[in-house]
Amino acid sequence: MTRLKTEWIRTIEEAASSWNDILKQKTGVGYIELAACISGNSVENIKAAVSEYKTAVVPVTSGEGVITDFAESVTAITAAMGFNSFVTDKTDVDGIYEAYMKSADIIYMADDNRYIAVNTKTGRISDNNKATAYGFAELLCLMAGEIKNKKTAVLGYGIIGRLMAEYLRNKGAVVYVYEQNDDLKGKIISDGYFCIENIRELKQFKYIADATNTGGWLGSDMLASDVLISAPGIPLSLDVQAAEQLKARYIHDLLEIGTAVMAGMAV
């Protein structure tokens, strides 16, 4: 699991709102519509929550400690959705106490293993892995227009890759998985997916869900010219040239989509 770095997330605070606009241009949905879709809430329900709920982010010092700008970035994303959002002054348990005392409805917090949002009123909890995987998988479906019966590649069969494969299969996609770790191939097959044996086969795929976490290994010569990529994997797999060339054809972010969907799943 990739640990976020301050230098990667530095721009999220100022760009959270414009990324919402770009997402809408690319897929037809923004944070709120995607949060509604994945959580099974109506857009009206999410909008009502946004206008009523306070969200708090508690910095967590355990393990590798606080990531400078992490809590502020999460706050900026929920604020871009319209929530009344704040970072607690205190950290850890004292921060959770502060969030309750300030009547936060949803509390976000992350340690090295898990990033969650807890609804203090209903007890509902959402997990970033699921929110991110389902959010990005749905965005691939939206970019595709119709994913049913379409050959779709999932790169990486870790936590996020598995959740994306499951989501895409439920949407009717024919899922092929590329995974470098040979020990996982048996699992891919027994889970009911096809294996991409050689990365050269990737060129045949128009639809790609990329959940790998080695940056810069994917060049445009390895991809179909009309490829559409939804890429929650961090760092981005596309090399610098491919990222520039395919700008209009891929979606990637570090925190925004997952965080927005988490809000929906905690409402």
CB atoms within 10 A of CB 15: 16
77 near ligand 2YJ, judged by CB under 6 A: no
- Taking CB under 6 A as the rule, does residue 246 contact ligand 2YJ? no
DSSP-assigned letters across all residues of 161-208: HHHHHHHHHHTT-EEEEE-S-GGGHHHHHHTT-EE--SGGGGGG-SEE
Closest to ligand 2YJ by CB, 66 or 224:
66
**Residue from the set 30, 59, 156, 233 that interacts with ligand 2YJ by CB under 6 A:** 59
- The half-sphere exposure of 253 on its side-chain side, counting CA atoms within 13 A, is 26
199 binds ligand 2YJ (CB under 6 A): no
Q: Name every residue whose Cβ is closer than 8 Å to that of residue 15 and which is 6 or more positions away in sequence.
A: none
Q: How many CB atoms lie within 10 A of CB 72?
A: 17
**Binding residues for ligand 2YJ, total number by CB under 6 A:** 17
Q: Does 265 bind ligand 2YJ (CB under 6 A)?
A: no
Q: Which is nearer to ligand 2YJ, 30 or 258 (CB)?
A: 258
Q: Note whether 131 binds ligand 2YJ by CB under 6 A.
A: no
The residue among 133, 143, 136, 132 whose CA lies nearest residue 228 is 143
Least distance to ligand 2YJ from the beta carbon of 257, Å?
12
3-state secondary structure 225-236: CCCEEECCCCCC
Closest distance to ligand 2YJ from the beta carbon of 159 (Å) = 8
Q: Does residue 55 interact with ligand 2YJ by CB under 6 A?
A: no
Stretch that binds ligand 2YJ, among 58-66, 146-154, 170-178, 203-211 (CB under 6 A): 58-66
**Judged by CB, which is closer to ligand 2YJ: 109, or 143?**
109
Query: ∠ at Cα 150 (235, 152), nearest 5°?
Result: 20
Q: Is 134 among the residues that bind ligand 2YJ (CB under 6 A)?
A: no
Q: For ligand 2YJ, which is the closer residue by CB, 59 or 223? A: 59
Of 63-71, 174-182, 203-211, 239-247: span binding ligand 2YJ (CB under 6 A): 63-71
> Residue 71, interface with ligand 2YJ (CB under 6 A)?
yes
Interacting stretch for ligand 2YJ, rule CB under 6 A, among 1-9, 181-189, 220-228, 242-250?
Answer: 1-9
Interface with ligand 2YJ, residue 4, by CB under 6 A: yes
For ligand 2YJ, the binding residues in 107-126 under the rule CB under 6 A are 110-112, 114-115
The residues that bridge with 207 in the sheet, in sequence order, are 152, 228
The structure tokens listed for 54 are 């306070």
Q: Which residues in this chain contact ligand 2YJ in the complex, by CB under 6 A?
A: 1-4, 59-60, 66-67, 70-71, 110-112, 114-115, 128-129
